[in-house]
Amino acid sequence: MIGSLFIVLIVLGCGVYQYQKGTFVKSFVAIVVSICASVVAFGYFELLGNVFISREILLSWAHSFSFVLLFVLTFAVLQTAAIQLIRQPINLGLWPERIGRVICGLFLGLILSGILFTIVAMSPLSAKYPYQRFDERIPDPENPSKLRLNADGFATGWFSMISRGSLSGKRSFAALHPAFLDQLFLNRLNVDYEVPIIASSEAIKVPQKGVWLASEGLKDSDGNPVQPKSGYNLTIVRVGITSSIEGDDKFSPSQLRLICRKKGDDKNPFTGKGKDVYPVGYLKSSNELQIKNLADHIQISRSDIDFAFYVPDEFVPILIEFRQNGIYQLPPPVSYDQSPAAEELSMMLEEQKRAAEKAKEEAEKKAKEKETAEPNKPTE
In whole angstroms, how large is the CA radius of gyration of the chain? 29
Sign of CA dihedral 209, 306, 49, 7: positive
CATH topology of domain 197-338: Immunoglobulin-like (2.60.40)
Amino acid at 110: L
Measured CA to CA, the distance from residue 23 to residue 193 in angstroms comes to 49
Measured CA to CA, the distance from residue 8 to residue 59 in angstroms comes to 32
Query: For residue range 27-39, what is the model confidence (pLDDT) as tens digits?
Result: 899 999 999 999 9
Measured CA to CA, the distance from residue 266 to residue 166 in angstroms comes to 19
Query: For residue range 159-192, what is the model confidence (pLDDT) as tens digits?
Result: 888 877 545 556 788 888 999 999 999 999 988 7
Cis peptide bond N-terminal to 96, omega within 30: no
DSSP assignment letter at 281: E
Burial class (CB in 10 A: 0-12, 13-18, 19+), 120: middle
Low-confidence ranges of the chain (pLDDT < 70): 1, 91-92, 165-170, 243-248, 266, 342-360, 373-380
Rounded to the nearest angstrom, the gap between the alpha carbon of residue 55 and the centroid of all alpha carbons in its chain is 23
Sign of CA dihedral 308, 314, 320, 323: negative
Q: Which pLDDT does position 380 carry in this prediction?
A: 47
- Is the entire prediction scored with pTM above 0.75? yes
Q: Which pLDDT does position 263 carry in this prediction?
A: 84
Q: Which pLDDT does position 286 carry in this prediction?
A: 79
Helical H runs in 178-302?
Answer: 180-187
**Cross-strand partners of 276:** 259
Start and end residues for every CATH 2.60.40 domain found in the chain:
197-338
Tell how strand 219-220 and strand 305-312 pair up.
Answer: unpaired
What residues contact 23, with CB distance under 8 A and at least 6 apart? 89, 90, 91, 97, 101
Burial class (CB in 10 A: 0-12, 13-18, 19+), 163: buried
Residue pair 73/48 in contact by the 8 Å Cβ criterion: no
